[in-house]
Amino acid sequence: MHGEVAPGQAMTLRGIGKEFEVSMTPAREAVRRLVAEGALFLSSSGRVSTPELTGDRIEELAALRALLEVELASRALPRAHMALIDRLQAINGNVTQAVESRDAVAYIRSNLEFHRTLYLRAQAPAMLAMAETVWLQLGPTMRALYGRFRKSEPPHFHRLMIAALKAGDEPGLRLAVRSDVTQGLRMLAG
């Protein structure tokens, strides 16, 4: 999810087991779960690797992010008090810092933490779980994306989200979330 492993990276059950000092059985179960969530790709011969997403698939996952996260943000809005907004601003500081230090993994991690912190207020666990499933599928690809475009973009849309939260502006929040989610992924898909 955090982009620590590159797209197309292959792995073996015995290798995973050795890495985490367990036998094949727990490694197999973990892998099967991640395959079920779409986070890992299972070849026809049973080999497992991180997925290499096509442009179409990236576009589709971006659309899913937009659908789900706009709804989550909208549901979180009426419950967002000042303490939450303060926390979001603090996390956003970490995002900026990660951007400045060109740390792709730290950027992805803090960016997702920003979103998750907001969405937790939506009180919609199934919806949040689906959003996280999408993040999981996009993880390796996002790493490749932010590794390619090294330009340091400040989290502009995050500030718009915070402003909309403060103002209680629901249409503005929806637009800001949709823009933030779509922004980075549109360029890779094209």
Partner DNA sequence: CGCCCCCGCCTGTGATCACAAATAGGCATG
Partner DNA sequence: CATGCCTATTTGTGATCACAGGCGGGGGCG
Binding mask 110-139 for its own copies (x = CB under 8 A): --------------xxxx-xx--xx--x--
Binding mask 20-39 for its own copies (x = CB under 8 A): --------xx--xxxxxxx-
Q: Rounded to an integer, what distance in angstroms lies between the CA atom of residue 116 and that of residue 88?
A: 10
- Residue nearer to DNA on the CB measure, 10 or 167: 10
46 near DNA (CB under 7 A): yes
- Is residue 35 a contact partner of residue 175, using CB atoms and an 8 Å limit? no
Q: Which of 39, 48, 72, 181 binds DNA (CB under 7 A)?
A: 48
- Residue nearer to DNA on the CB measure, 29 or 153: 29
- Is residue 117 a contact partner of residue 31, using CB atoms and an 8 Å limit? no
Choose one: 15-23, 61-69, 110-118, 181-189; the region binding DNA (CB under 7 A): 15-23
Coil, strand or helix: which one is 10?
Answer: strand
Structure tokens at 22: 């367990």
Task: Output the CA torsion 153→159→161→162 (10° steps).
Answer: 150
11 near its own copies (CB under 8 A): no
1 near its own copies (CB under 8 A): no
- Using CB under 8 A, count the residues that bind its own copies: 26
In the complex, least distance from residue 30 CB atom to its own copies, rounded to whole angstroms:
9
Q: Which does 68 bind (CB under 5 to 8 A by kind): its own copies, DNA, none?
A: its own copies
52 near DNA (CB under 7 A): no
- Residue nearer to DNA on the CB measure, 15 or 93: 15
Q: Where are the alpha helices (DSSP H) in the chain?
A: 13-19, 24-36, 55-76, 82-100, 104-120, 125-148, 156-167, 170-189
19 near DNA (CB under 7 A): no
Vertex 136: Cα angle to 58 and 190 (nearest 5): 15
